[in-house]
Every structure is written in structure tokens, then in C-alpha cells.
Amino acid sequence: MPTIHYTDHEGTTLDINANQGDSVMETAVRNGVPGIVAECGGSLSCATCHVFVREEDAESLPEMSEMEDEMLYGTTVDREDCSRLSCQIKVTEDMDLHVTTPETQV
């Protein structure tokens, strides 16, 4: 089963079993993961589901779209090389993904 490991900015980690085909953001919201606001519900019109993907995990993800890249310039906490919008990361069958939420989303 796919697993997403959500670590908050203080270092606390929640390991959540995810459903294939859902987004990392949907999985977080459904399971009450703190640090994912998801104001737009995944329609790629805000940046409140910003996460930092662990470097070794980032290589296995599809490249971000131009629109996601643009939205990441609007994050409250400055984007980094490993920044992604969790609404744009689809859970795959064997996913074992580690993400960290920024200190704030708004």
C-alpha cells in the first residue's frame, strides 16, 4: 500500500496509508494532517498545500507543470529546490514518499 510520511516543521512525522490515484494533498486533508491548508481544494489556484519533498524522493516524481512552477512563487514560506504543491502529486501504487510542511501556509 502506498505510504506518505508527513513531517511538520518541528520534526513530528505522521505516516499515512494512501489511496492510489488520490493526491498527496487529498490524503493529508482526509487524515487531518496539520500544515496542509488546501484552500482551493486542489484546483491549482493557491499555494496552501506547499510541501518540501525529500531530495531522493523528488527524483521519482513526474516533473512539475509550468502552472505549478508559477504557483510556487506565491508561497508564504519561500520555495526551495525541493518544493512542490501536494495537490499536484498523485499517489502511485508503490509510493513511499516523504514530505515536510513549511512553518505556515498563510
- Whether residue 105 is contained in a domain is answered as no
Helix and strand numbers, DSSP H then E, in the chain: 3, 5
pLDDT digits (tens, 9 = 90+) for 61-104: 999 999 999 999 999 999 999 999 999 999 999 999 999 999 99
For residue 106, being part of any structural domain is answered with no
pTM: 0.96
| In-domain check, residue 91 | yes
Query: What is the pLDDT averaged over residues 16-30?
Result: 98
- Span 53-62, pLDDT tens digits: 999 999 999 9
Determine the pLDDT at residue 47. 95
Q: What is the CATH number of the domain that holds 18?
A: 3.10.20.30
* CA within 13 Å, CB half, 78: 2
34-45, pLDDT tens digit by residue?
999 999 999 999
Domain containing residue 96:
3-100
Q: Is residue 75 part of a domain?
A: yes
Cα–Cα distance between 101 and 53 in angstroms, integer?
9
Distance CA 78, CA 75 (A): 6
Pick from 15, 106, 2, 102: which is nearest to 53 by CA? 102
